[in-house]
Amino acid sequence: MKESLDFIYKEQKELSYFGGIAALLGWDQMTYMPQKGCGERAEQLSMISRLAHERIISDDFYNHLKKLDEMPNMLTERDLIVVNKLKEDVEKARKVPSEFVEKMAKTTSLAYTAWEEAREKNKFSLFAPHLEKIIELEKQYCDYIKLPGHPYNSLLDDYEEGMTVDTLRKEFGVLRSQLVEILKKITSSAHYQKQQPVKMKLDVVQQKELCDILLKRLKLPFDRSRLDISVHPFTTTISDDDVRITTNYEHEGLLASFFSTVHEAGHALYELGLLKGEYKDTVISDAPSIGIHESQSRFWENMIARSKSFCTYFAPVFKKVVPDTCKDMNIEIWYRAINQVRPSFIRVEADELTYCLHVILRFELELDLLEGKITVTELPHCWNQKITDFLGITPKTDKEGVLQDMHWSGGEFGYFPTYAIGTIYASQLFKQFLKEHTTIREQISQGNFTPILNWLSEHVYQYGRLITADEIIKKTCGEGLNSKVFIAYLKEKYYPLYDI
């Protein structure tokens, strides 16, 4: 038994190193890698992916796991938890050939570079052949995994364990209709007709200064993290003490870089606070789902950073860093400005109300592509039609439409729904947090964010994969995914803002 335990822990540790190497190569490709390095980078990433996958699905690894699984009474609680979760992961991975994993890694690495070029040239046709290959690979993957129900369940499960298309169609159906209804009420209000977008032209130096101040206030440890620039902001983990986040200083939205940095900081705080200790370098020391991960970023970005209490604390900071632009901005103006509802094309710049409509759009298109209801060639038109139906606006270019996200270039079908799932989870966590911390608004207005970090650590960070995302939310909030909580939160916040 000791030999088998030593073997599986050694393998998990080395697999975490493989993951860190792949993450570092991917981070470099999206930040500093020379453009012509994409060819060999694709080969490097595909090799790492293949080697890691071969280790996971090896007969030696599986035989040791089966031996341990057959003697549960002789295992400690910690070892039993690790063995059970690891066996689930390994049995799923063994369904997928290494050649497929290598092919997917190479295909997506090349596709990312093609997406960058297509986006820069505003020409979807440059990316379309790569997307067609990826969709065929996604279909093959579904055939390998074959979870019950809709084939998309096999993709979704990689990001949100246990979630199904049936559940999302039900929740997103309610959410979509309610969001469209709220949006119509707001856009037909007198206040909306009179509101003018607050425009701020901050230079890169000012944006960087604001982001640095923000990260220090949130207590993000700079000796365990760093902030860089990429086309599409993201967070990646190289190791327990090396988490990288990025932002972009070119977007035109009000303080876009500031709020994207808040968002990514939420991810980083979660990664750095995740369960370690006796579970370090095991499958348990990880997030149970991307939805839970996203709940942390949305919690900080929307529930905290877009609150009036946060404006109370940061308004003087904005005035100090950008005195000319902010001289006439009081707290009320700031609060209304950063919470303006205004349908827009770009998901990462969308306001809090319309954001999930962008996500639901992508979920529906992914289903249509996998079911063969639409082709890749038809995708830009279908995208524009849905945006028009949902938000009443129509993209004029591929860059502000179908080419705005990098996710499909990475083969991340099934990922987009987690943004909405996480947003709903965030509202549920926030509701419970307010019940337990009745004076938190005053503390936030004084710049005290420690109670928030402590509460999230106790109710989310500490679990890792000991329990599922659904169990975490039920344990903390008393119920699982419930979009009605998010709708109630939006009405309570936005109806007063628009005198409804």
Q: Mind telling me the catalytic residues?
A: 264
Cα–Cα distance between 275 and 392 in angstroms, integer? 44
- Cβ–Cβ < 8 Å for 352, 339: yes
Cα–Cα distance between 281 and 17 in angstroms, integer? 9
- Cβ–Cβ < 8 Å for 98, 50: yes
Partners of 229 in beta bridges = 247
- Cβ–Cβ < 8 Å for 430, 380: no
Checking 378-387 for CB contacts under 8 A at 24+ apart, the result is 379/124, 379/128, 379/131, 380/124, 386/361, 387/345, 387/361
Residue 177, C-beta contacts closer than 8 angstroms, at least 6 positions apart? none
- Cβ–Cβ < 8 Å for 155, 413: yes
User: How many residues are given for the chain?
Assistant: 500
**What separation in angstroms does the CA of 402 have from each of 232, 361, 380, 399, 421?**
14, 11, 6, 7, 22
Cα–Cα distance between 196 and 495 in angstroms, integer? 18
